[in-house]
Amino acid sequence: MYKNDKISLSQQIRAKTSRKIRAKRTGIKSVWFGLGMMGLIGWSVTVPTLLGVALGFWIEQISTGSYPWILTFLIIGLTVGCANAWHWINKEHADIKKEDTDD
């Protein structure tokens, strides 16, 4: 019966056992972990963006030119924040792949 299946019974048992061992070793990641990660990524975009706006506003206050510094630094801060979020997401993805290959 199992010889005709794509995955044999022993392979299914091995995979299930390795998932249980990995869950015990690393701990079960709850919903709070996912929400925390979303918060981390959100803040990693928000903080540089707001700092860019504040810096642009400050430069506009001391500058006499008509160049839109707030918009310029908003875009720079948003770009830095998105690059920062991309870094965090890639790091988590690499950690997940590493855990899968270790098993």
Per-residue pLDDT tens for 26-62?
666 677 777 777 888 889 999 999 999 999 999 999 9
Q: What are phi and psi of 64, to 5 degrees?
A: -105, -5
Mean pLDDT of 13-26: 76
pTM of the model: 0.64
pLDDT of residue 4: 46
pLDDT band at 100 (very low <50, low <70, confident <90, very high): low
pLDDT of residue 28: 62
- N-to-C CA span, the chain: 27
Q: Which of 49, 44, 46 is nearest to 76 (CA)?
A: 49
pLDDT of residue 5: 56
Answer whether 40's CB lies under 8 Å from 81's CB.
no
Alpha helices in the chain (DSSP H): 9-26, 31-62, 69-102
d(CA 63, CA 55): 12
> Is the pLDDT score of 2 beyond 50?
no
Mean pLDDT of 55-81: 93
Mean pLDDT of 76-102: 86
Q: Which of 53, 52, 38 is nearest to 85 (CA)?
A: 38
